[in-house]
Amino acid sequence: MLRATLAFAAASAVAALDDAFYGQPSPVISWSGKKELYAASSNVVTDDVPVDDVASYLEFSKDASTPKVAVVFAFDNMPTNGMAHLVEEGDFANVVAAREAASSSLVVPNTYGAGATAAAFVEDLPALFGVEGKATLYVHETDAVTEQVDGAAFEVQQASTSAVAEALAAATDASPKFLYVPVRSDAEVGMTLGAVEKAVGSEFVAFAVAAQYEQQQSEDATARRLQSVGGPTAAVGASAALSTVRCTPNIMLGLLLSVFFIFMLWMGFSNMMDIRSNDQFWTSDNVPLGNKVEM
């Protein structure tokens, strides 16, 4: 029992270090109008995935043709632990509606990269689409992410939504086009998706990602949040009720140790009450069984 308790204490300490190392986890939500687009057997990836490795989990099926357009929506506030609450408040209404109506979707609920930005994910998109060399990345406005990817994997071009839609519709080459949208309001998602669908129909894939991964979890996020079956994925589908349990690894360790020591105290006290001395020390006045004392 003691060895198991010490092992649990060590595991809790490692878990606490891991939380600080990983930072605040965020989901990556992907959807498309194309049927059976993804190679994954399930539409939910339960692994903890670093942001620079997410693209490998979003590989397309060999039987599906590569989409013509990839749209990346970058959100400033997108914590996994708070997604259900944000969905209930309507912050991701257009993302939820688009994903529910999509023919294919894939969600990676727990991606991490303390201090990293969405640039690590965006830079992997050309390889995911099989593009060699630099690709063109259309942006509504520049930010830290576009500055990091400009000149590396992309040639960044700033243009309005209508101009991008016209460029997509007029494109004659078969190479995939990439669009990056820093989301300031949920309405931008619906407007951009409408323009893309009008230009290319269902030949697109969209991604909702966190623009910035926080170094440390906030006080509210540090609390472990237990969700109904489906977790963050159900939250994205606006069908999960969030139940918050304020229990960190240190609190859980304290509770388990308390139960263990109370049990040990009870067991020791009970055994002490059952201790009896040897029969040779009984006197004739307090012999428990009659007056017979065996020598």
Domain contains 287: no
Q: Do residues 162 and 175 both lie within one domain?
A: yes
Task: Give the count of domains, the chain.
Answer: 2
Mean pLDDT of the chain: 75
Residue-wise pLDDT tens digits, 186-241: 888 888 898 888 888 888 999 999 888 876 655 444 444 444 344 444 444 433 33
> How far is the C-alpha of 228 from the C-alpha of 127, rounded, in Å?
36
Specify the pLDDT at position 6: 34
Specify the pLDDT at position 205: 92
Half-sphere exposure of 155 (CA within 13 A, CB side): 6
Structural domain containing residue 41: 24-244
For the ranges 67-81, 91-105, 113-127, 275-289, the lowest mean pLDDT is seen at 275-289
Domain contains 292: no
Q: Do residues 171 and 231 both lie within one domain?
A: yes
Specify the pLDDT at position 48: 83
Q: Do residues 217 and 101 both lie within one domain?
A: yes
Is the pTM higher than 0.85? The answer reads: no
Q: Which two structure tokens, joined as six digits, stand for 288? A: 């428990």
Q: Do residues 256 and 141 both lie within one domain?
A: no
Q: Do residues 138 and 233 both lie within one domain?
A: yes
Q: Do residues 185 and 271 both lie within one domain?
A: no
Domain contains 183: yes
Domain contains 158: yes
- Find the mean pLDDT for residues 240-244: 40
> How far is the C-alpha of 175 from the C-alpha of 188, rounded, in Å?
25
Helix (H) or strand (E) holding 136: strand 135-139
Domain contains 9: no
The helix/strand/coil state of 148 is helix
Q: Do residues 114 and 38 both lie within one domain?
A: yes
Specify the pLDDT at position 237: 42
Specify the pLDDT at position 261: 94
Domain contains 193: yes
Q: Do residues 165 and 268 both lie within one domain?
A: no
Domain contains 150: yes
Residue 115: pLDDT band (50, 70, 90) is confident
Which residues partner with 30 through β-bridges?
A: 106, 207
pLDDT at 267 exceeding the cut of 80: yes
